[in-house]
Chains A and B, each alone.
Chain A
Amino acid sequence: MVDQFAIVMSVMTLFWGIVGGVVPWFIPKGPNRGVIVTMLVLTAVCCYLFWLIAILAQLNPLFGPSLSTEIIQYLRWAWD
């Protein structure tokens, strides 16, 4: 099984990279072109950054979750 983290990382980076770096070139010329390009780039940066922070924070957990024993019993058999 290839490293799941690497796949996820490359997929997300590629996706937001396309949204922020490639799509702006295809926006037709008009009075709103500047605004639309700004919006695309900013959206890509903000969303990618937010996702990145979330995944990096969970990459190396320093402690695990404390669960009540009822939940442990349930999860033992319900989740693989």
Chain B
Amino acid sequence: MVFRSEEMCLAQLFLQSGSEYDCISELGELGLVEFRDLNPSVSSFQRRFVSEIKRCEEMERILGFLLREIQKAKIAVPQEDESPLAPPPRQVLEIMEQLQRLEMELSEVAKNKDKLQRNLLELTEYTHMLKITRTFIHSRSRHEALGPQYEEFPTMETDSATGSTGMQRLGAKLGFVSGLIQRVKVEAFERMLWRVCKGYTILSYTEVDESLADLDTGEISKSFVFLISFWGDQIGHKVQKICDCYHCHLYPHPENDEERADVLDSLRTRIQDLNNVLHRTDDYLRQVLQKAAESAYTWVVQVKKMKAIYHILNLCSFDVTNKCLIAEVWCPVSDLANLRGALEKGSRKGDATVPSFVNRIPSSDTPPTLLRSNKFTTGFQSIVEAYGVGDYREVSPAPYTVITFPFLFAVMFGDLGHGVIMSLFALWMVLTEKNQNKKRSSNEIWMTFFHGRYIILMMGLFSIYTGLIYNDCFSKSLNIFGSGWSVKAMFTNQQWTNKTVQTNALLTLDPNVSGVFSGPYPFGIDPIWNLAVNRLSFLNSYKMKMSVIVGVIHMSFGVVLSVFNHLHFRQKFSVYLLFLPELLFLICLFGYLVFMILYKWLAFSARNSSQAPSILIHFINMFVMQGKDVTPLYPGQTGMQVFLLLIAVMCVPVLLLGKPLYLYWQQRGGKGLRRRRGYERVRRVSEDDGSITSIHEEDEEEGFDEVTSREAPPKQFDFADVLLHQAIHTIEFCLGCISNTASYLRLWALSLAHAQLSEVLWAMVMRLGFKVTTEVGVVFLVPVFGLFAMLTVSILLVMEGLSAFLHALRLHWVEFQNKFYHGTGVKFLPFDFSQLPSVFEQDGLL
């Protein structure tokens, strides 16, 4: 990450027909350039390489199916560290064939397996049915033996000749229908049977112990085995129809016991055989999937890269005369040599007769913005870019954000103990980052924290420092150097006696008494304030003033950074007409406020504390120019204030009208100057024509920028437009100065909130644990500490941390960046294979 974004150039690539695939593949591996679409009017179905892309998508479909099957079989897909290169076109057909073969094999095996399982289910049901109806019949025969009540239901065992029943007289035949029905339908089935057949059927049913899986829906449900005995053919038909309607599985009912036993035996052997076959099928399927899983990762990456290359090739335009593809790319100037090397390498691989080459062309389009960053600075870069990507070659606030953002966070968060916990958490994430990167979790919240690990580490470290300065560690103060306040001195100087101590509940130390105050605490806030009742009076005054001082300095820094933008874009007049009035306005008013704060701290002490003035009253009096009633801070104060106010007031019209009037004069008047500049412009352009292919020096490149930036304004100089913009800018800046300075008071507000929450948590939770002093207390302290720890982490670390993060971010985005940053640029997105997301990763298949 550097001061400003990198210099970019537009280049034309001439890719020879044989080697274009390999050249693009090389460029994709390196991730150097961003391709522009040269066929914007062509729809995606009419582009040149549509059929290749369709082929790639077909392969992706098969791979998706394959990965799903592998996942179902719970086989792990081994991932390699080095990603394979995109395959050359001849290898593509091989891969396609392999994948299609695999798909066919898998679907066949799956179909067979399905058939076998259905068969198995049928046989199992049949077995159950036979066993259970056997009990029906036998129970009935037992009943038969008991008495004559069940004459109407002669079993098959008894000879029909022994007893003549009423039914036989009618000549009707007894029939049986047996099968299985789902549990939920049993009652309805019974009722339907009764209504339709009106007592001419008898239904008995029992539940099957084992729950069977219904193959069509895959649910496991209980079934009932039923046996219907009926007589008469018509009833038989009706029964059949009803059984069909309720989706019963019907099986033939055996005539007698021997038949039943035979059928049972044969079923048993068949079931055994089927189980064997199913096992073998499973094994075979697993084998196939295992083999496929070994190369699945390679295939996925290769197909992804291939598809990307064809997409890029679709963006290029085809030159019929030279039989080559032309591509237009944005390339960083410093990478042009690498680009040439990549094209050479690609040409060599592709065995083309003529090598591909690159040609730099001038352009008036604004190039995209590239800011290189390493793993540490990426986090800070991304929070700056969340506001807006910088304009081309604009000063980037990111390198400063690396330190000022954690610092402002820490000012609002300042607690030693919490800072230590935060730093340790961030340190753990940083030290295990290699493993975490491999795991690639899909939990979004965790990934957000992980990507910001360096930010959190810096925030934690700065919080430790500010915690030491605020002297706040889990709401307790540390006394390292010895307090500057002495209670004993109040007694030795006879200010307090034992009697005063007995009669009063609260006593205030008086710094006027000698020996009570021996000097400021060397590092941070004195620990005695933590014990004092009027702690907040002192701390509030200190923190508010601190916030204003930090805020004014931060904003001045922002204004100063705008100078670099003005100078770079060759707008020297802006330095005098924009920067200078802005800085003077800020310094004369708020810089003077900072001066008054410092003066009051240094000049007034306990001796003349009764005359110590309120800074705020003086500041307000300065604006209304009414300083007569109040005693001056220093001699000559009124004169000085009037002078500063005058300067500030004069800056406003300069800021408002300076730039528009200057540009107007430049366009209309100032003829002499313009002629000279026009000549300079012509000279520069002719120079550039001659040396287009070589890499330019920084100065000549400035000339390019100047040409591009100068070409635009004179075409449409609209005075009203510029004046309006400048008026808005002036109002925004001047009113913004006041509101932004006040906005920095949130530094005070949040640090106060954090300190108070921390104190409440200690007093309400932890202290209860300490107050209990018996042996019970020791045991009681354990859950109390658990509660304290949990509340600390959830409320003080997570909630307050997020809150302070957000406010520090706002201070950067609004108060700091609106002094100099435009943030309306486009980000440079190079064609890089590692940046392309894989569809399968998103689905969680890989």
Closest 9 CB pairs of A and B: A65-B532, A64-B509, A60-B605, A42-B403, A58-B520, A62-B609, A8-B522, A66-B508, A75-B487
Residues of B within 8 A of A69 (CB): 501-502, 504-507
Annotate B508-530 by CB proximity to A: 1 below 8 A, 0 otherwise.
Answer: 11110000110111111110110
Q: Which of A38, A46, A53, A72 contacts B545 (CB 8 A)?
A: A53
Cβ-defined contact, A62 with B521, below 8 A: no
Cβ-defined contact, A79 with B507, below 8 A: no
Q: Which of A53, A62, A66 contacts B612 (CB 8 A)?
A: A62
Cβ-defined contact, A58 with B484, below 8 A: yes
Q: A56-B601, A57-B545 are in contact. Are A49 and B404 (CB under 8 A)?
A: no
B546 within 8 A of A: yes
Nearest opposing residue in chain A for B554, CB measure: A46
Residues of B within 8 A of A31 (CB): 372, 374
Chain B interface size band reads 35 or more
Annotate B592-629 by CB proximity to A: 1 below 8 A, 0 otherwise.
Answer: 00000010011111100100100000000000000000
A29 within 8 A of B: no
Least CB distance from B50 to A in Å reads 42
Cβ-defined contact, A34 with B3, below 8 A: yes
Residues of A within 8 A of B545 (CB): 53, 57
Cβ-defined contact, B531 with A67, below 8 A: yes
When chains A and B are docked, how far (Å) is the Cα of A4 from the Cα of B496? 28
Residues of A within 8 A of B609 (CB): 62-63
Cβ-defined contact, B602 with A59, below 8 A: yes
A61 within 8 A of B: yes
17 A-B pairs within 8 Å (CB atoms) are namely: A35-B2, A35-B399, A38-B399, A38-B403, A60-B605, A61-B511, A61-B606, A62-B605, A62-B606, A64-B511, A65-B508, A67-B532, A68-B533, A72-B496, A73-B501, A79-B483, A79-B488
Cβ-defined contact, B517 with A61, below 8 A: yes
Cβ-defined contact, A5 with B519, below 8 A: yes
Cβ-defined contact, A67 with B546, below 8 A: no
Cβ-defined contact, B533 with A59, below 8 A: no
Cβ-defined contact, A67 with B507, below 8 A: yes
Cβ-defined contact, A64 with B525, below 8 A: no
Cβ-defined contact, A65 with B531, below 8 A: yes
Cβ-defined contact, A72 with B483, below 8 A: no
Residues of A within 8 A of B486 (CB): 79
Annotate A21-64 by CB proximity to B: 1 below 8 A, 0 otherwise.
Answer: 00000000001101100110011001101110111111111111
Residues of A within 8 A of B519 (CB): 4-5
Residues of A within 8 A of B400 (CB): 38, 42
Least CB distance from A57 to B in Å reads 4
Nearest opposing residue in chain A for B373, CB measure: A35
B residues apposed to A, CB below 8 Å? 1-3, 372, 374, 377, 399-400, 402-404, 407, 411, 465-466, 469, 482-488, 491, 496, 501-502, 504-511, 516-517, 519-526, 528-529, 531-535, 537-538, 541-542, 545-546, 549-550, 553, 598, 601-606, 609, 612
Residues of A within 8 A of B529 (CB): 65
When chains A and B are docked, how far (Å) is the Cα of A42 from the Cα of B528? 31
When chains A and B are docked, how far (Å) is the Cα of A75 from the Cα of B487? 7
Q: Which of B1, B510, B524, B535 contacts A35 (CB 8 A)?
A: B1
Least CB distance from A61 to B in Å reads 5
When chains A and B are docked, how far (Å) is the Cα of A47 from the Cα of B458? 13
When chains A and B are docked, how far (Å) is the Cα of A53 from the Cα of B737? 22
Nearest opposing residue in chain B for A79, CB measure: B483
Nearest opposing residue in chain A for B541, CB measure: A57
Cβ-defined contact, B534 with A65, below 8 A: yes
Residues of A within 8 A of B402 (CB): 35, 38-39, 42
9 new A-B contacts, CB < 8 A, other than A35-B1, A63-B534, are A32-B374, A42-B403, A49-B553, A61-B517, A65-B532, A66-B509, A67-B508, A68-B506, A79-B486
Residues of B within 8 A of A42 (CB): 400, 402-404, 407
Q: Which of A38, A46, A64 contacts B517 (CB 8 A)?
A: A64
Nearest opposing residue in chain A for B372, CB measure: A31
Cβ-defined contact, A60 with B601, below 8 A: yes
Least CB distance from A23 to B in Å reads 14
When chains A and B are docked, how far (Å) is the Cα of A5 from the Cα of B508? 24
When chains A and B are docked, how far (Å) is the Cα of A43 from the Cα of B410? 13
Cβ-defined contact, A34 with B485, below 8 A: no
Residues of A within 8 A of B538 (CB): 61, 63, 65
Residues of B within 8 A of A79 (CB): 482-483, 486-488
Least CB distance from A26 to B in Å reads 19
Residues of B within 8 A of A54 (CB): 469, 524-525, 542, 546
**Secondary structure type dominating chain A contacts:** helix
Least CB distance from A29 to B in Å reads 14
When chains A and B are docked, how far (Å) is the Cα of A71 from the Cα of B404? 39
Cβ-defined contact, B506 with A39, below 8 A: no
Least CB distance from B29 to A in Å reads 21
When chains A and B are docked, how far (Å) is the Cα of A79 from the Cα of B469? 21
Cβ-defined contact, A66 with B483, below 8 A: no
Residues of A within 8 A of B482 (CB): 79-80
Residues of A within 8 A of B517 (CB): 61, 64
Nearest opposing residue in chain A for B1, CB measure: A35
When chains A and B are docked, how far (Å) is the Cα of A45 from the Cα of B407? 11
Residues of A within 8 A of B506 (CB): 66-69
Least CB distance from A49 to B in Å reads 7
Nearest opposing residue in chain B for A47, CB measure: B465
Residues of B within 8 A of A66 (CB): 506-509, 532-534
Cβ-defined contact, B374 with A5, below 8 A: no
Nearest opposing residue in chain B for A60, CB measure: B605
Q: Which of B484, B535, B553, B598 contacts A56 (CB 8 A)?
A: B598
When chains A and B are docked, how far (Å) is the Cα of A29 from the Cα of B537? 50
Nearest opposing residue in chain B for A61, CB measure: B511
Cβ-defined contact, B504 with A57, below 8 A: no
Cβ-defined contact, A50 with B612, below 8 A: no
Nearest opposing residue in chain B for A46, CB measure: B407
Nearest opposing residue in chain A for B471, CB measure: A54
Cβ-defined contact, B511 with A63, below 8 A: yes
When chains A and B are docked, how far (Å) is the Cα of A51 from the Cα of B520? 12
Interface centre among A38, A64, A66, A71 (most CB of B within 10 A): A64
Nearest opposing residue in chain A for B402, CB measure: A39
Interface centre among A5, A31, A61 (most CB of B within 10 A): A61
Residues of A within 8 A of B505 (CB): 68-69
Nearest opposing residue in chain A for B598, CB measure: A56
Least CB distance from B138 to A in Å reads 90
When chains A and B are docked, how far (Å) is the Cα of A30 from the Cα of B1? 12
Residues of A within 8 A of B399 (CB): 34-35, 38-39
Q: A8-B522, A69-B504, A79-B486 are in contact. Are A57 and B601 (CB under 8 A)?
A: yes
Least CB distance from B521 to A in Å reads 6
Q: Which of B507, B524, B602 contacts A60 (CB 8 A)?
A: B602
Cβ-defined contact, B377 with A65, below 8 A: no
When chains A and B are docked, how far (Å) is the Cα of A50 from the Cα of B659? 38
Residues of B within 8 A of A8 (CB): 522-523
Interface centre among A47, A50, A65 (most CB of B within 10 A): A65
Cβ-defined contact, A5 with B487, below 8 A: no
Cβ-defined contact, B605 with A53, below 8 A: no
Residues of A within 8 A of B523 (CB): 8, 51
Cβ-defined contact, A50 with B411, below 8 A: yes
Cβ-defined contact, A64 with B520, below 8 A: no
Least CB distance from B785 to A in Å reads 25
Residues of B within 8 A of A56 (CB): 598, 601-602
Least CB distance from B612 to A in Å reads 6
When chains A and B are docked, how far (Å) is the Cα of A41 from the Cα of B577? 30
Residues of A within 8 A of B504 (CB): 69
When chains A and B are docked, how far (Å) is the Cα of A72 from the Cα of B524? 22
Nearest opposing residue in chain B for A50, CB measure: B469
Residues of B within 8 A of A46 (CB): 403-404, 407
When chains A and B are docked, how far (Å) is the Cα of A79 from the Cα of B523? 18
When chains A and B are docked, how far (Å) is the Cα of A70 from the Cα of B550? 38
Residues of B within 8 A of A64 (CB): 485, 508-511, 516-517, 606
When chains A and B are docked, how far (Å) is the Cα of A13 from the Cα of B487? 31
When chains A and B are docked, how far (Å) is the Cα of A69 from the Cα of B545? 31
Least CB distance from A65 to B in Å reads 3
Least CB distance from B335 to A in Å reads 14
